[in-house]
Amino acid sequence: MLDGGALAVAGIVALFIAPVWAWLIRGPLDPRGFPPAFELLTLASAALLTLLLSLLQIAVHIRAFGGSTVRGNRENYPVASGLAARIRLAHANAVENLVPFAVVVLATQSLGITNRNTVGGAALFLVARVVHAVSYSAGITIVRSAAFYAGVIGIIIVSAQLPWFSMIPGG
C-alpha cells in the first residue's frame, strides 16, 4: 500500500518526466524524424530524477531523525528503515545506473549517432528509472526489479549503436 511519502515521490517524479514527453510530442524534428538531442534530454531528466531522490532522502531523514541529526556529524547516525531506507537505496541505485547511461549517451551524441534505437533506448531507460524510483520508494519489489532490468536493456540498446559494438562477431 502506498503511504503519503511514496505518493509524494510519484507526483514529483511525474513533474520531471512531463518535459520529456512534451518535447517528444511537440519538439521540432530533425531530418531523421527525431527531436534534436532527445537522448541528451533524457540524460538530463535522469540526472534531475537522481537529484530529486537525493533531496527526498534528506527530507525523509529530517522527518525521521530530526534536522540536527541529519546536519550533524555521522558518527552515531541511526539506521534508516522503511521509506527512509528505501529512498536511500533508490538514490544509490539511480547513481549507479546514471553513470553507464551517461557514458553511452554522450558517446553516441559525440559521434552524431541518433536513430530510433538510441531514442527508444533512452526513452526506455528514463521511463524505467522513474518506475524504479516510485516502486522502490513504495516497496513494490516485483515492479522495482522489472524496472531495473528494463533500464539496463535501455542502456544496452543505446550502446549497441556504437561502432565498436558492430565489430563483435554476430553484433
Amino acid type, 2? L
Angstrom distance (rounded) from CA 11 to CA 45:
15
Mean pLDDT of 148-167: 87
Quick one: pLDDT at residue 103?
A: 96
The span from the CA of 105 to the CA of 170, in Å, is: 23
Which pTM does this prediction carry?
0.76
User: What is the chain's mean pLDDT, rounded?
Assistant: 80
Q: For residues 125 and 70, which has the higher predicted lDDT (pLDDT)?
A: 125
Distance CA 91, CA 146 (A): 17
Q: Which SS3 state, helix, strand or coil, does residue 119 take?
A: helix
Q: How far is CA 108 from CA 29, 79, 98, in A?
A: 18, 41, 15
Query: Could you give the domains of the chain?
Result: 4-162 (1.20.120.550)
pLDDT value of position 163: 86
